[in-house]
Amino acid sequence: MRADQSTQRAARVTIRLVDDELPCLVPLSGDELREIRSVTLGHYQRDARSFWAGTRDHDVSQNIEALIRHLLGPPPHTILDLGCGPGRDLAVFRDLGYVAVGLEGADEFVRMARAHSGCEVLHQDFLELDLGNERFDGVFANASLFHVPSQELPRVLGELWTALKPGGTLFSSNPHGPNREGWSGDRYGCYLDLGQWRRFMTAAAFDELEHYYRPPGQPRHLQPWLASVWRKRTR
């Protein structure tokens, strides 16, 4: 049933607007949002150990450096690793001298990240964030925000804007695509091109600092990841 539903959802593109201008690729009910959260987090919960084994040696130093070079203000900087998984990058930020805070929705990832990094890890998911006001100098959203349905993306970006200090920096890396969203197995994803991602980010009061595709040194068709860095703009 889920595969059939995902096909139908993915085919319905730009059929209504959110915030009077941004396209909602797929309108979703409250029950559907809860299913997306439950099933996607369940996937990572079940596969936590194999996920860690398969990703712990991935080199994302290019992304970490992209965030760091755009941080403003005097150290120590406080960085939120949004969707920190088992804590690989959280530990890197810690070792570099930053005040690193993780956020993760899957129970097992929360436990693993705390054990691996020794850092504070918030047990929250993207649909129910509670981050406070102006706590963070930077947000590192590596391979995480694409799980947020387009319908909810303006709200989530707004909450990240609020959680950043004035002039704060947001890094994101997402698999890009032809502005489609839906199920891929037991994971829900939203795959936007650069133009559409810019529309969401600028509407949320962020200014673009840079963007690039990954992995480096490959032709574009072999670069599935779109990375971008943004500055919080005064509203």
Classify domain 2-232 at the CATH topology level: Rossmann fold (3.40.50)
Give the C-alpha separation, 194 to 207, whole Å: 14
| Confidence bin at 4 (pLDDT 50/70/90) | very low
pTM of the model: 0.91
Residue 121 pairs with which residues in a beta bridge?
Answer: 102
Give the C-alpha separation, 73 to 136, whole Å: 11
pLDDT of 13 higher than 70: no
Q: What is the pLDDT of residues 105-140, one digit of tens each?
A: 999 999 999 999 999 999 999 889 999 999 999 999
The answer to whether the peptide bond before residue 154 is cis (omega within 30 degrees of 0) is no
User: Could you tell me if 63 and 93 are in contact, meaning their C-beta atoms sit under 8 angstroms apart?
Assistant: no
Q: List the domain boundaries for the chain.
A: 2-232
Q: What is the model's pLDDT at position 81?
A: 98
Q: What is the pLDDT of residues 153-212, one digit of tens each?
A: 999 999 999 999 999 999 999 999 999 999 999 999 999 999 999 999 999 999 999 999
